Chains A and B, each alone.
Chain A
Amino acid sequence: MTDAASVVVVGGGVAGLATVTALRAGGHVGPITLISREGLPYDRPMLSKDYLAGTRSAAQIELQPQEWFARNDIALLVGAEAAAVAAHETAVFLTDGRTIESEWIVLAAGGRAARPGIPGLDSARVHLLRARPDADRLRAALTPGARLLVVGGGLLGSEAAATATALGARVTLIDPLDPPHVSALGTSMAAWLHAQHAAHGVRVVTASLDALADEPGGIRAEWSDGGSASFDAVLVASGMTPETDLAERAGLEVDDGILVDGSLRTSQPRILAVGDCARVRGETRAEHWDAAQVAGNRSAATILGTSVAPSTAPWFWSDRYGRHVEVVGAMADPEGRHAGVVRGDPGPGHFSVWAVADGRVLGAASVDDPNAVRAARRLIDRGVEVDPDQLADPATDLRRLVRG
């Protein structure tokens, strides 16, 4: 494959932007087209935080200005939408009738907000949060005193609950699990973070939502323990569904995401898939920002025929109630074999919780102590042997442990 090959990237989220950025940084000289239906690529994590709060404008969350695409000779098709992909001719057909033939296609179509099977979900008072217009509509509903029900206590629901609370809304958060999100956060960090909702005045309901129904002046929610209340708005934050329609209709293998190998190749080797729409065979889908960026970099390496940086432990962050949360590696402990390590005191100050087994770090989660997680990421990647007591001692210099 020569560097002059043409590449079309379908989707202008972080995975798509990382792909085109890494292609040009890696010396790719062939034509690059980026199809970005939503406009200029923007910083999607802001939609539940600064952008929802109104402290950053649409222009302030754009990742690259228009000139950047021109300067890097990337044809940015803003507002264009792919209608179909031809797998064997490697062509993308746009909804406006244009056809883009290309030697490589990178599918970076992202995902949609999941719609659980609850009656009443089509009410105008029900919100999803995935794209900028969703955030605009939700913000308009978050007037001071507005009664908001957040359905789902994962990252998105928790962040939106915190932002809505800061805007003066009266928030109820419902999730069938107490605490939710244990598989990603580990039990103790999940419990600590979940408790922050009540500490900030959010009513927390542990139940599943059974039904929604419009009523005069609001929307009534009924949940599984028989409880019920009326709200002005409902945000459904029940996870995401990978966007696989194009791939399915093109005959690519799809199973809870477009199936790809470690080089991000789909079942048609000239078509790659990255980010939220894709799933690496044998792995669970990684729905986080960093994973999407890493996949974009790797897909560029596949096209360029260059080697990729070794994989690192998965990492994500979350910001809520003025606290900065970071998580790396695997925090879940279904078999109860971790030595639980807590560094610092869970409370107003900074602290971290570590998953350690057999002298190796498996994961770490921090609140307002990002460098603990940066250290953990390196300790995991390098397989450094650690002493749990030493890790738990805040006097231990983690940078020194990393250096060995």
Chain B
Amino acid sequence: MSSGIPVAALDDVPVGEGLKVPKSVTGTDDNIAILRDEDGTVWALNDTCTHELASLSEGWIENGVVECPLHGSQFCLRNGKVLSLPATKDTVAHRVSVVDGQIILFPNEAP
């Protein structure tokens, strides 16, 4: 367990939008996408789609799912599981929490 990394103010990630946190900040193999679902919940997944080079932080976020902006592969926000082709590999979900209006990311910790 780490203390987590403050990555943004909650208000900086509007509902339905994403934010890419570079791997130089997270210390992970891939950049991490902070993804805010329509109900306001904040999730974090590896940013690069497992199909082709595309940033999930730029995807369409709705009903617990992010849809890749390139070819529409869908991933579960909660656990990173792939839900539709053309991607076939799950991505990695990271724990994230909101404390005093700040989004705190815990890279490589399961949600």
Contact = CB atoms under 8 A, between A and B. Distances in A.
B110 interface: no
B5 interface: no
Interface stretch (A14-22, A102-110, A269-277): A14-22
Interface stretch (B20-28, B68-76, B99-107): B68-76
Contact of B67 (A14, A45, A293, A374): A374
Contacts of B71: 45, 317
A63 B86 contact: yes
A403 interface: yes
A377 B58 CA distance: 17
A354 interface: no
A43 B84 CA distance: 13
B60 to A, nearest CB: 4
Interface residues of A, number: 22
A165 to B, nearest CB: 20
Contacts of B86: 14, 43, 45, 63, 289
Task: Tell me what chain A mostly uses at the interface: helix, strand, loop, or mixed.
Answer: helix
Chain A CB count within 10 A is highest, among B16, B51, B70, B86, for B86
A399 B16 CA distance: 7
B109 to A, nearest CB: 27
A290 B72 contact: yes
B70 A370 contact: yes
Given A43-B51, A371-B69, A375-B60, 14 more contacts: A14-B85, A14-B86, A17-B85, A43-B86, A50-B52, A63-B85, A68-B88, A315-B72, A317-B70, A371-B58, A374-B67, A399-B17, A403-B16, A403-B38
B72 A21 contact: no
Given A371-B60, A399-B16, A18 B85 contact: yes
Contacts of A375: 60
Interface of B: 16-17, 38, 51-52, 58-60, 67, 69-72, 84-86, 88
Nearest to A293: B85
Nearest to A17: B85
A403 B40 CA distance: 14
A137 interface: no
A64 interface: yes
Chain A CB count within 10 A is highest, among B16, B58, B85, B86, for B85
Contacts of A399: 16-17
Nearest to A18: B85
Contacts of B72: 290, 315, 317
Interface in A67-113: 68
Contact of B60 (A45, A50, A324, A374): A374
B74 to A, nearest CB: 11
Contact of B85 (A21, A50, A403): A21
A168 to B, nearest CB: 23
18 contacts: A14-B85, A17-B85, A18-B85, A21-B85, A43-B86, A45-B86, A63-B88, A289-B86, A293-B85, A315-B72, A370-B60, A371-B58, A371-B60, A374-B60, A374-B67, A375-B60, A399-B17, A403-B38
